[in-house]
A and B are shown apart, each in its own frame.
Chain A
Amino acid sequence: MKREMLKGNEAIGAAAIRSGCKLFFGYPITPSTEIIEYLAKHLPKAGGTVLQGEDEIASINMCYGAAATGARVMTASSSPGFSLKQEGISYLAAAELPVVVVNINRNGPGLGGLGPNQGDYFQCTKGGGHGDYRVIVLAPSRAQEMYDYTMSAFNLADRYRTPVVILADGMLGQTMEPVELRGQVTTLPEKNWAADGCLDREKRKIAMYNLTNEEGEATALRLQNKFSFIQDAEQRWENYCTEDAEYLLVGYGTCGRVAKSVVEEARRQGVKLGLIRPITLWPFPVKAFASLKQIKGILTVELNAGQMIEDVKLAVNCSVPVHLHNRLGGMLLSEQSILRKLAEVFHLEVTV
């Protein structure tokens, strides 16, 4: 199996090529730029096209056009650029167009900083643009997953005719790790809705607006049915030492990765700690919490002011105390700080 030392960002590019993606439209913004750079070098050799748009709004709308013809297409940006794309993403959701949108989260709000951060959680999972819609959000925690989840993203986007967001952070994007370049899509799914020229078939149109409120409701209900189907069918997470866990950490991406070593250290000291690492941030893995009866307390670990914690509380219906341990501004959190916070809030005997 072909393995390469790749930055997380480059792994996303490599996966896109092997997913049969032939088009990338983007705009430079740290810390995501290696994605467009990697693809600018390698996609043309795979018969594809990389076009740098005049801005992020142009890029997401170029993706709209390409997706409308049935092509697999991707764009990538980082927080401020991702914000500029929200109207476009709302339109993609409404017109049911499959596009993979990567957000390498950096510290915000405003220009913010380049450090790793998870402050875009709400924007990604609650719908960053206008209207009632959701997008599938996948959260890799290492370079191999940046690769694997990108391939899944293209499949999910086509299967459900929806934009799919990859939410990572600057550290994941910039960290170089060995990546297995596995899987190669050869045949793309047939898209009998695409507007690719009505030669020998009925004319088609791609758009979503309603001239009457009755139409509006009918369309909205149809979309909501799709979202609830996805919500039930596509929840993904990783359980780590949760079978006998009395306490739980919940963390995704970088935090999910750091949390694993905290689980190991706590267990060495006799604390039955487990980790639930959400892989889909939407649909949030509510099912992960359903089977855990003996949990006394949950600590969510985030690089923001506390966003995913709300979904965890909802998932357990506040039946269990849920606390937050977080860092802001681009700072990372250490294993020791998580263990200290765990001990503090749940009055556990651990040495840190």
Chain B
Amino acid sequence: MSLVPVLKRPKGLTEVPFHYCPGCTHGIIHRLIGEVLEELDIIGTTIGVAPVGCSGFMLDMLSCDMVGGPHGRAQAIATGIKRARPDRLVFTYQGDGDIAAIGTAHAIHVAARGENITSIMVNNAVFGMTGGQMAPTSLVGQKTTTSPYGRDVALAGPPINLPKTLAALEGAVYVASGSVDSPKNILLTKKMLKKAFRIQQEGLGFAFVSILSTCPSNWGMSPVDCLKWLRENMLPVYPVGEIKVAEEVKDL
């Protein structure tokens, strides 16, 4: 019986161990990106842009060149990189606070311009790094350190569904909502990510993938319970699926 590895560390990731809290699913998303970079053989031609947040320290974890900048500005930075080097692939990786709060102006305009980059949003419904404050994606009634009695629609309004918002912009040719709460959804999310990078390779416009993720430390639950909470509470508000697939990217 000769054993063949079926799952191992992708070349798209370095050996640097992840600093994330136990059970935080940022790591799963990093693995998916690492696999996509390896499978498309684009490690040497890709430049990633990190946010400011828990994943702001991902710079050493991806094997491709990485750029870190101010909170919320990853997509503006990525625009500069892509305009300087249109021959390179550029992706952004941002938390929900980074992209849908402070970074909203760039999220809208990068999509509106049809910027040829791949943008990834990790949605865990809180500001993780700063200790679990309410984010634009926090659910109605969700308790956070800045909505201690639960998100109050009268005070802070309902959550933003950024994928739906961006889908309305012509420049966005591919908008998908994924989740890494289960093997099935992880597999689906990887397909979305790969398609988003393929779209950039073909220069067909702006591709956006939002991915539901957990935050055990700030949700105050065990990692396993977090997955259940995500399924019962977040999936109904942010259903998994391809929200927009423009004609020109259908068969990619």
Contacts and interface: CB of A to CB of B under 8 A. Distances in A.
Does A pair with B? yes
Interface of A: 22-23, 25, 49, 51, 53-55, 57-59, 61-71, 73, 87-88, 91, 95, 195-200, 203-207, 209, 211
B66 A195 contact: yes
Contacts of B109: 53-54, 58
Contacts of A199: 44-45
B59 interface: yes
B56 interface: yes
B183 to A, nearest CB: 30
Contacts of A57: 73, 76, 105
Contact of B79 (A51, A55, A67, A95): A51
Interface string B69-100: 11001001111111111001000000000000
B67 A61 contact: no
A95 B69 CA distance: 9
B108 interface: yes
A332 B82 CA distance: 43
B78 A65 contact: yes
22 contacts: A22-B84, A25-B83, A49-B83, A51-B79, A53-B109, A57-B76, A58-B73, A58-B106, A61-B73, A68-B80, A88-B70, A88-B73, A95-B68, A95-B69, A195-B47, A196-B85, A197-B47, A198-B64, A200-B44, A205-B59, A205-B65, A206-B68
A68 to B, nearest CB: 5
A130 to B, nearest CB: 11
B80 A61 contact: yes
Contact of B67 (A58, A68, A71): A68
Nearest to B63: A203
A196 B47 contact: yes
A23 B65 contact: no
Contacts of B44: 197-200
Nearest to A71: B84
A204 B60 CA distance: 9
B125 interface: no
Nearest to A202: B65
Contacts of B67: 64-65, 68, 195, 205-207
A205 B49 CA distance: 10
A91 B84 contact: no
Contacts of A207: 50, 59, 66-69
Contacts of B233: none
B69 A197 contact: no
Nearest to B76: A61
Contacts of B142: none
Given A25-B80, A197-B47, A198-B44, A61 B85 contact: no
Given A69-B88, A206-B67, 6 more contacts: A25-B83, A54-B108, A61-B70, A68-B80, A91-B69, A195-B66
B14 interface: yes
Q: Which 5 A-B pairs have the closest CB atoms?
A: A65-B80, A207-B68, A199-B44, A61-B76, A62-B80
A96 to B, nearest CB: 13
B147 interface: no
Contacts of A53: 76, 79, 109
B14 to A, nearest CB: 7
Given A88-B73, A197-B47, A203-B14, A51 B83 contact: yes
B133 interface: no
B43 interface: yes
B116 to A, nearest CB: 13
B43 to A, nearest CB: 7
B84 A69 contact: yes
Contacts of B57: 211
Contacts of A69: 47, 80-81, 84-85, 88
A197 B90 CA distance: 10
Interface centre among B47, B49, B63 (most CB of A within 10 A): B47
A73 B49 CA distance: 18
Contacts of A198: 43-44, 63-65
Contacts of A67: 80
Contact of A203 (B49, B64, B79): B64
Given A198-B64, A205-B60, A66 B45 contact: no
Contacts of A66: 80-81, 83-84
Interface centre among B46, B56, B59, B84 (most CB of A within 10 A): B84
A337 B141 CA distance: 67
Interface centre among B70, B76, B85 (most CB of A within 10 A): B76
Given A65-B80, A66-B80, A87 B105 contact: no
Contact of A62 (B43, B79, B88, B105): B79
Contacts of B14: 203
Interface centre among B59, B69, B85, B109 (most CB of A within 10 A): B69
Nearest to A90: B70
Contacts of B73: 57-58, 61, 64, 88
Nearest to B86: A49
Contacts of A63: 80
Interface centre among A23, A59, A95, A199 (most CB of B within 10 A): A199
